[in-house]
Structure 1
C-alpha cells in the first residue's frame, strides 16, 4: 500500500456534511431510464438500492486499501490475529501505539456514509409501510454500528439525520439500549411474517447467503443479541442475562449449524485481505497465532496461513509492536491462507454462538446446555466450517499448550509463551480458567474477523497476547493492556465541535487510546 495515494483529506467525516458531499447517493436513487416513481416503486427498487452499500461496507470489500485503514491496520492487528512487516510512517503507527488519525477516520466515515445513511433512508421509505425492509435494515444497522461504538465509545446514533447545527453523541450505554430495542422490532416483524407464511421480497437483494429467508435473518438477529448481551456482562450483568436468555428462548433460537452463519457474499470482490497479504505482503501471521496454533498442533493452521517463503514448510509469525528497519526483514514469513481467498466474508460464525452460550452457561444462565457440551460443540462447528477433522481428539487434549515465540531473524523479539492454557475442559478448574479456554477457542474460531476478536480481548483479557516492545503512545496506552479504543476523528472536532464535546463528556476519560469503553471495565470477569 502506498500511503500517499490512499490517505486523502478527511472530507465528509463530520456528520454535518456527510450527506451533502457524498458522490454516489444520488446515483443510487436517481431515475436514469425515464421510469416514473410509481414504476420504480413496484418492485421496491426505491428501497432495495440502499442495502448493497450496507452489506459491502460493514467490512469494506473494495478497495483493499480502505479496508486496510478501516480494520486491517487496527483491530486485525490489536486482536493478535495478524501483524504487519511494513514500517509504515517510519515504524511509528498504529502497530506501535501511535494512533494515526488519517488511518482511523476511515472506519468512522465509512459507517456513516454507508451504514447509517442508508439505514436512515430505508427507514424513511419503508417504516409503517413495508416493515419487512425496515426490519432487515435495522439488523444490518446494528451489525454495522455496534462495531463502530466498540471502536470509539460514544457515537452519533439516535440523533443521526437531524438538522441540528450540533449533532449530539449518545453514550455507549444509550447506543446499546437502542440496539436491543431495534432488534426487538426486527425480530417481532420478521417472526410475524414467517408465521404468516409470507413469501420473502428480499431474495434478489440479499447478499448474505440467506436468499431472503426471514427465519434465517431472525436467527442472525438473535445471535447478534446474544453477542451484545455478553459484551455488557461486566457492567450490566442483569440486563446481559435477560437479553441473552431472550435470544435463546426465541422459538427460532440462535445459530446451531454452519448454514446459519452470517456472511457477505460478493459477486465481484475477493476478501480484501487476499490482496493485502498475498499481493502487497503488508500483513503476516502474528506471533500470537504462531504460538497458539502451533502449540496446539491445530488442524486449522494450514487453512488460516500459508507456510513461510523464507522458511519452507514452517509457519512463522511476526510479533506486533517491534522495531522494523525494513519490510524485507519479515515479509517472507507466513501470509494469510486460503481462508481469505474467496468472495465470502464471514462476520459471525456458528462456533461463536456456541462459545457465547458456553460462557453464559458458565455464568449460570439458561443457555440450553451446559458449558462443557457447548464448548465442545463450538470447536466442532469451527472444524466443520473449515473442513478439517479431528475435533474430538483436539478438544480432549489436556497436554499441549502454546509455545514460546522465536523470531529467527531478530532474537530481541523472542518471548516465552503467555497464553498458558490447555484445550481440554477441566470441570475442576476455576471459572477464570474455564473462561480463558472458552475465549481462546472462540478467538481461534473467529479468524480472520479481527474486530470482534479485539472487542472480546478487551472485555475478557483473553487470549493473553504478547505485549508490544515499541510503544510510541507517550504514556497514554499501556503496553500490558493494549489499545482500548480509537480517539474521535479530527473532522468531528472541527466540523461538529459541540457534538464532539458531548461525546467527550460521555466517554468518561481523555480522548486517547488508553481510555476504556463503557463495557470495558477493570473489574474481574466474575
Structure 2
C-alpha cells in the first residue's frame, strides 16, 4: 500500500505564495500590503529544496526498495507484484526543481540580483542550485527516461520531452560549469546540507559527475570514461572517506525525523526481505544487525518476497520475521546521499574497466570497510575474516567476477536507498534478482521504469505521444536509454 504524506508546512507556504502571486484586480490596491515582500527569500527556497533530499533517500520511495528486494510487504503486496504502471513526477517539478529554478532566476535577473545577494553571492547561489537541479533531474530521468527538461520550469505548460541521452550530456556541462562558478563572495545561506561550504559542494558535484558517468558504462563507454576520469582527477576531489559523506541530518523531532521512522510509526507494512537476509547470512555479513532487527526468538528471518495477499496472511500468521533495525528506525538515523563506500566501489569498477589505474581489490576492500564503519559494525577481526572469504574477495584477473562482486557489494552498501540501488541493478544486473512468480504485470518481470503520469496524455498529448513513439511504448517494461 502506498501512502501519500503531506507536509503541512509546505502546503501553508504554497498557499501563501499563491496569495502573494495573485491579486484581486476588482479591489484595486485594497488587498496589497505595502510592507509585504514581493520577492522570495532564496535562502528559504534552498532549505526547502534540500528538505526534499529526504524523499530521495527515504521511505517515500518505498516501491523502489521493493523492486530491488530490500524489503517485502507484509499486508498489501500489490507493489511487490508489479502492479504499478505509472507514477507522478509532480513532487519533483512542483517542489525542489521549481524552487531551484527560482533561485537561479532571481540571482540572474539584473533587477533582483542585488537584493538576493544578502543570501549569498549571486554566483554561489546559482552554482548550488545548478548542482542540485542535476541531482533531482537525474532522479526523474532515471525513473521515466525521456522527460521534459530544456523547456521545463519556464512557464511552458506543454514542454517537449528531451531524450535521456541529451539530458545526460547536459548534466556533465552543468556540473562542470557550476563548480567553476563559485566565487569568494558571501557563502550561501539556508544550506542545511553543507553549511554553505563551497569546497563540499564542489566535491559533491565531482562525486555526482562520476556516478552519472558510470551510469553510461554500457551505452556510451567512451563518454563515460572521459567524464569519469575528468571528475576523478579534478583538484576539488570527490568523496572517499566517511568524513566526507554527503549526509542529510534528521532531528529528534516528529516534524523533521528520518522518514523511515515515520513510515513505521504505528504501521507494520514491511519486513526485511528474505532475499536480503539470506544473502547477509550466506556472507556472514555483520551489517545484518544494522539492517534488520532480530525476531522474538533472537533470529534474523526474512519476510518472503513477492507473495500473494492470501499467502502472506497465512505465512505471517504462523511465522515471525525481521523488521528494519532500531538503528534504522531511529528519528535521527542519518540520511546518506552519497557515501565513501559508494564512491570507492565506483573507483573499483573504473579500475576493472581500465578507465583509471589502481588496485580494484584494494578499493573494493576499502569500500567494504567504509560501509562497515558507516553502519558501526566494524572490527578489524570481523573485517579481515570477511574480505578473506573466497565468496567475497575478488581476483583482479577475472573481470566478470570482479564486476559481479562489486555489484553485489554496491547493492548491500546502498541499503536502504532504493532509488539508487534500482538504477544500479538495472545498469549492471547485479545481483541476479529473481522476479516474484506471482507478478501481475504482462511481462512478469521486475519493472525497469515508471510509465509517464496519466495526466500527460491529456495535458501534453503531442509531446507525450512523440516521446512514447520514440522510446517504443509507455510501460514499466520499456528500458531507459542507458539500460542496455
Structure 1 length normalisation: TM-score?
Answer: 0.79
CA–CA distance in 2 between the matches of 1:164 and 1:233? 34
| Aligned residue among 389, 394, 402 for 1:398 | 389
Match of residue 287 from structure 2: 300
SS at match of 1:308: coil
| Aligned residue among 81, 84, 95 for 2:70 | 81
| Aligned residue among 319, 340, 344 for 1:350 | 340
How does 1:282-321 map onto structure 2 within 5 Å?
A: 282-309=269-296, 312-321=297-306
Deviation at 1:505, TM superposition (A): 3.0
Asked if the contact 2:261–2:328 (Cα under 8 Å) also holds between the matched residues in 1, the reply is: no
SS at match of 1:347: strand
Match of residue 501 from structure 1: 465
Deviation at 1:398, TM superposition (A): 2.5
SS at match of 2:403: helix
Matched, 1:250 2:231: no
Deviation at 1:7, TM superposition (A): 9.6
Deviation at 1:168, TM superposition (A): 0.8
Deviation at 1:238, TM superposition (A): 0.7
CA–CA distance in 2 between the matches of 1:286 and 1:469? 15
Could you say which structure has the higher helix fraction? 2
SS at match of 1:159: coil
Deviation at 1:2, TM superposition (A): 8.2
**Residues 435 and 61 (structure 1), Cα distance of their counterparts in 2 relative to 1, 3 Å cut:** closer
Asked if the contact 1:207–1:266 (Cα under 8 Å) also holds between the matched residues in 2, the reply is: no
CA–CA distance in 2 between the matches of 1:2 and 1:366? 43
Match of residue 485 from structure 1: 449
SS at match of 2:264: helix
| Aligned residue among 147, 169, 174 for 1:155 | 147
| 4+ aligned runs moved over 3 Å, structure 1 | 21-37, 162-165, 326-332
Matched, 1:387 2:371: no
Q: Mark the runs of 5 or more structure 1 residues left unpaired by the alignment.
A: 9-18, 400-421, 522-526
Deviation at 1:82, TM superposition (A): 1.2
Asked if the contact 2:54–2:259 (Cα under 8 Å) also holds between the matched residues in 1, the reply is: no
**Residues 286 and 34 (structure 1), Cα distance of their counterparts in 2 relative to 1, 3 Å cut:** farther
Asked if the contact 2:93–2:153 (Cα under 8 Å) also holds between the matched residues in 1, the reply is: no
Asked if the contact 2:85–2:476 (Cα under 8 Å) also holds between the matched residues in 1, the reply is: no
Matched, 1:511 2:480: no
Match of residue 28 from structure 2: none
Deviation at 1:510, TM superposition (A): 1.6
| Aligned residue among 396, 405, 424 for 2:393 | 424
CA–CA distance in 1 between the matches of 2:322 and 2:224? 39
Asked if the contact 1:61–1:271 (Cα under 8 Å) also holds between the matched residues in 2, the reply is: no
Match of residue 119 from structure 2: none
Match of residue 330 from structure 1: 316
Matched, 1:236 2:220: yes
| Aligned residue among 382, 385, 401 for 1:433 | 401
How many residue pairs get matched? Answer: 450
Note the alpha carbon deviations across 1:351-374, whole angstroms, 9 max, x for none: 10100011001111126x321121
**Residues 295 and 112 (structure 1), Cα distance of their counterparts in 2 relative to 1, 3 Å cut:** same
CA–CA distance in 2 between the matches of 1:375 and 1:32? 61
Asked if the contact 1:61–1:272 (Cα under 8 Å) also holds between the matched residues in 2, the reply is: no
**Residues 327 and 186 (structure 1), Cα distance of their counterparts in 2 relative to 1, 3 Å cut:** farther
CA–CA distance in 2 between the matches of 1:54 and 1:424? 40
CA–CA distance in 2 between the matches of 1:2 and 1:237? 37
Match of residue 123 from structure 1: 104
Matched, 1:54 2:40: no
CA–CA distance in 1 between the matches of 2:20 and 2:234? 36
Structure 2 length normalisation: TM-score?
Answer: 0.86
**Residues 96 and 33 (structure 1), Cα distance of their counterparts in 2 relative to 1, 3 Å cut:** same
Asked if the contact 1:71–1:450 (Cα under 8 Å) also holds between the matched residues in 2, the reply is: yes
**Residues 85 and 100 (structure 1), Cα distance of their counterparts in 2 relative to 1, 3 Å cut:** farther
SS at match of 1:83: strand
**Residues 241 and 26 (structure 1), Cα distance of their counterparts in 2 relative to 1, 3 Å cut:** same
Q: CA RMSD in A?
A: 2.9
CA–CA distance in 1 between the matches of 2:49 and 2:314? 37
Note the alpha carbon deviations across 1:476-514, whole angstroms, 9 max, x for none: x43xxx2111111101111111221232133x2221111
Note the alpha carbon deviations across 1:286-317, whole angstroms, 9 max, x for none: 122111111111111111111124xx211111
**Residues 322 and 229 (structure 1), Cα distance of their counterparts in 2 relative to 1, 3 Å cut:** same
Matched, 1:455 2:423: yes
